[in-house]
Chains A and B, each alone.
Chain A
């Protein structure tokens, strides 16, 4: 089963009632088109005016927000079409519509705007309607890349073993990706137990490091790597509570057990504990921070907003 694990709060959602294969295809299409989320600076005001005209012509609810945010316009149009159909169906059955829309009496801005007379001297009125480009057919390697990409967008790194399990000729397809310009965002990260794939367009390299450490399931290594990383890069000591938070989500007793195990292992001799002036516990690496400085930057000073 692809997409078996979901975490709350991520930006891509998968409806469990939808046919899994269809869901994969839909996600691949969407993710390919929006492989790397466009910047707002590519936002085209002309496109927005086009969507405004569509609004008037079709009475639809599509308001151009997709174009503004860089969402795949095709996907948005498809969604809009479905919403329009649902709206028309609801209008055909007013009682059902009322039941489904308890706030129907609330005035809708878009309805109000659509009911307004045409603006005079509209500078965008005579611009030609643009037609949406057709999506290219995906190669099997591109489809697999889309799968990895979709998982990355959902904050999941993809183990090589999972790909082998799910796709018969996974290695063959993976080998094609480096040469495919559509797949250059698919990169790997070597873990202790497997190689992991992710899209660096949808997942940062540092987050991939965290995700790999989580997937490797060696908590002592994960603690040591992250404490050293934080001390070296920020620099900062690492609160023990850091590992309680997303994406680690460890229970306090697991954190305590892990830290206890580390203290008995000479490989982690550089990891030490301190308590700040708020009685909060931190770990730091003596390879990168002195105890005196680590304590100082962990203390909380008088704060104004």
Chain B
């Protein structure tokens, strides 16, 4: 194994069919950084897109990167790459998870795990440094993730980090996850990808460390970051309400720097904790900034909050931990923690609304946390709210309309009295049915596209703008995620790239911060050029700097999922420091890469590295679309935008103050600019040969040519 810093130096290969476990020197993948980039290269070389996602040869690739476990703030992430079963094209896809398991994998000595094959019986993968084995998981097959994780820890010891799939994954439910016991999860169907392989989970203990080339520099950079650059969650750079040291705060009172005087963790051990003021340069108070529960639920959160938890190497602690005691009245678990979609959309399956439980206004919180625990236990993913939106679409129908889609017997078997009473057991029962694939309704958990097919809904169903049911920006089965409503054409462009929701937070971290528009605009224009940053709901036509910004976001996100860094926090674009004129430091992530690996990195170089991953993604997407959709014309097949994006807010015209609607012709021009930046054919959106060769991906260009994709491009142009 080659001596190197940052990278552990080897990946683990596990064949579940044969039980063979080997290691491989991974130096040849370092140019792809790690995580996502490394996995994309391995997937391309070893598991072609022709394979069915559930084929024995299909791969599930866990990947971390040189920064994971290296002491860099906000680096406790792990990327998992596999094949989509539910989004259009069944192409390459990623799940992303936090917690401590990614760092533990590094401490055990691995940059990744490549899982192939299918086991005959349920197993879990046990890793204790160099001792790696497949262990019988029959005992926990069928169990929820909390019980399964507990069992694996009991079997192996408290020093092990574990993650488990739930019944959803075992039952090959497309919307499924891999979960830790603390609410960290990787979604996108990862549970089913593992369930198909009869791989119940992972138990990892690493007693080693990550070799760091310049630890003194890492410490200096860390202190510089902590005292000058980092804000709250999403790196929001002003507090949610006025603090004496801060010039600005979020007027709405709602952003992710939500700790504030009087905002308490009332169930903290030893008595209530007032999160107080957190001057931006007081690094010992950083962990009090993000009171995510208060951001999500307002004042009722204080009544149930025990403390803030979070991932390894992260000072932000965005996982609020709750003791929601009213749930005990329904025989439901009261200890809950999650920070993401599971705590946001539970109420959407209550067409008749919810009620308060113990405190004024706590209904949404109690219902959402019951949802959170149940989906995490079942290992059920919500596809960033599509599960809830699609359920609401049918649940709010009158019986005679709903029974056009599901049987009368099934409709009548639903415990409607719980729904009408706002009883949390209603949502738990729905989740159970989804996870076990029971009834017609459970097709919703197979994906929006599968649901449309089963229910006979036309493509135009996705063009609607009723606001409550779907928010799909494109026709590929996944929803808006920080799209045009938060980032104008930029958000629309980066939502075109992936085979799931984009998971890009580079812009919403700025637009959601609550800082004055002119302050943030100056930061963004100084970094990305004039005209790149629009005012909220007051958009301007596309320009080159906006397209460049969109491309930057894609490449940067790809780097984050490869290095790994948390994309909810990185890059350090804004700062809470008035002395810095609120400017962050985009170069810091490259500086950390240099300090950790001992090799010289620049931000421009990281953009190149991120772009290489973008090109691999695009080429593999073209191949899978040709394979599964009959056409590799990605502009038509992958990047087509739903009508509602242009037709919403009928009282407003595009670019008028007060709307986030886009303009069709302007958006086509935006695609042209975006494709040009990436070197994609304007007609088809496929990377040209010159582009792929520029990124040292000539083999992919040869492949596209051999498959006739370039010939198809030429034909389309003519």
Contact = CB atoms under 8 A, between A and B. Distances in A.
Nearest to B220: A45
B157 interface: no
Nearest to A302: B471
B275 A246 contact: no
A186 to B, nearest CB: 15
Contact of B253 (A202, A237, A239): A239
Nearest to B658: A296
Interface in B569-606: 578-579
A46 B638 CA distance: 56
A304 B482 contact: yes
A207 B241 CA distance: 11
Nearest to A244: B253
A244 to B, nearest CB: 9
Q: How large is the interface on B (under 10, 10 to 19, 20 to 34, 35 or more residues)?
A: 35 or more
B209 interface: no
Contact of A302 (B282, B284, B480): B480
A235 interface: yes
A221 interface: no
A246 B260 contact: yes
A10 B277 contact: yes
B517 A234 contact: yes
A247 interface: yes
Interface stretch (A36-44, A134-142, A168-176, A263-271): A36-44
B333 interface: no
Contacts of A238: 251
Contacts of A56: none
B537 A293 contact: yes
A202 B246 CA distance: 9
A196 to B, nearest CB: 13
Contact of B242 (A38, A210, A303): A210
Contacts of A207: 242-247
Contacts of B545: none
Contacts of B216: 45
A241 interface: yes
Contacts of A68: 223, 283
A69 B480 contact: no
Contact of A39 (B227, B244, B339, B516): B227
A65 interface: yes
B48 interface: no
B188 to A, nearest CB: 14
Contact of B247 (A10, A152, A204, A239): A204
B523 to A, nearest CB: 15
A9 B501 contact: no
Nearest to B296: A305
A53 B480 CA distance: 55
Nearest to B224: A41
Interface in A1-60: 7-11, 37-41, 43, 45
Nearest to B253: A245
Given A204-B578, A304-B480, A304-B501, A11 B341 contact: no
A29 B578 CA distance: 26
A272 interface: no
Contacts of B457: none
Contacts of B274: 8-9
A203 interface: yes
B252 A304 contact: no
B285 interface: yes
B228 A301 contact: no
Contact of A204 (B220, B226, B245, B514): B245
A40 B279 CA distance: 13
A236 B516 CA distance: 9
A236 B262 CA distance: 24
Contacts of B276: 8-11
Given A10-B276, A203-B244, A296-B537, A242 B251 contact: yes
A10 B275 CA distance: 9
Most A-side CB within 10 Å, residue of B219, B223, B251, B253: B251
Interface in A70-128: 70
B352 to A, nearest CB: 17
Nearest to A206: B247
B247 A43 contact: no
B282 A11 contact: yes
Interface string B261-298: 11000000000001111010111110000000000000
A69 B243 CA distance: 19
B247 A202 contact: no
A155 B224 CA distance: 26
B168 to A, nearest CB: 20
B421 interface: no
Contacts of B341: 304-305
A304 B262 contact: no
A292 interface: yes
A233 B516 contact: yes
Most B-side CB within 10 Å, residue of A202, A246, A292, A293: A246
Given A39-B228, A41-B228, A202 B284 contact: no
A286 interface: no
B485 interface: yes
A304 B242 contact: no
A93 B689 CA distance: 80
A102 B268 CA distance: 18
A290 interface: yes
A236 B223 CA distance: 34
Contact of A10 (B242, B252, B261): B261
A303 B340 CA distance: 11
Contact of A293 (B246, B340, B481, B538): B538
A297 interface: yes
A91 B426 CA distance: 58
Interface in A193-248: 202-207, 210-211, 230, 233-239, 241-242, 245-247
Contacts of A305: 339-341, 344
A11 B253 contact: no
B687 interface: no
B228 A155 contact: no
Contacts of B226: 40
12 contacts: A37-B279, A37-B282, A41-B228, A69-B227, A70-B227, A206-B246, A207-B243, A207-B245, A234-B517, A245-B262, A293-B538, A304-B384
Given A249-B262, A302-B471, 20 more contacts: A9-B260, A9-B262, A11-B282, A40-B281, A40-B283, A41-B224, A155-B244, A205-B247, A207-B244, A234-B516, A236-B251, A236-B252, A242-B251, A246-B242, A246-B261, A297-B536, A302-B480, A304-B341, A304-B384, A304-B481
Interface of A: 7-11, 37-41, 43, 45, 65, 68-70, 152-155, 202-207, 210-211, 230, 233-239, 241-242, 245-247, 249, 290, 292-293, 295-297, 301-305
User: Nearest 4 CB-CB pairs, A to B?
Assistant: A40-B227, A9-B276, A296-B658, A9-B261
